[in-house]
Structure 1
Amino acid sequence: MGGTQRKDIRPGVRVKVVQKPHQRTGELTEGVVKDILTNSAVHHRGIKVRLEGGIVGRVQEILG
């Protein structure tokens, strides 16, 4: 499942995100959503979130 719609993402959900420095390589980081940073309902590159470890990135995949 993709991470382009805000309604699909909630705090506590496990996701894979791409961090800004890794956008070219596509390296994904797995974690649990702490905060949702994107205000719009849809974002074509992925909803921006902060993970529990403090990492900020755009959701590429929702794991459940």
Structure 2
Amino acid sequence: MDGNKRANIKVGAQVSIVLKQDQRSGNLTQGQVERILTNSPNHPHGIKVRLDTGDVGRVKAIHSQ
């Protein structure tokens, strides 16, 4: 699914995000969405979320459960 659309992301969903410090390398961090931080309905670089681990980044992939 597309991580650029806020409607596709739900609290509790399993996602892969790219952290700010990993933007150049492209390393992805996986986790469960605790909070959606982006207010706009879409964002070209991905919707910003906070994971249950406290990591904050932009969604690159949404995993089906």
TM range (shorter): over 0.9
Number of aligned residue pairs = 64
With the length of structure 1 as denominator, give the TM-score of the two structures: 0.98
Q: Where do residues 1-64 of structure 1 align in structure 2 (5 Å cutoff)?
A: 1-64=1-64
Structure 1 distance, partners of 2:6, 2:23, is 20
**Following TM superposition, where does structure 1 have runs of at least 4 consecutive aligned residues deviating by more than 3 angstroms?**
none
Structure 1 distance, partners of 2:2, 2:25, is 18
1:10-47 CA-partner distances (Å, limit 9, x unpaired): 10000000000000000000000000000000000000
Between the aligned residues of both structures, percent identity stands at 52
Q: In angstroms, what is the RMSD of aligned CA positions?
A: 0.5
Q: Which runs of no fewer than 5 residues in structure 1 stay unpaired?
A: none
Name the amino acid aligned to 1:58: R
Q: Which runs of no fewer than 5 residues in structure 2 stay unpaired?
A: none
Structure 1 distance, partners of 2:37, 2:52, is 13
Name the amino acid aligned to 1:25: S
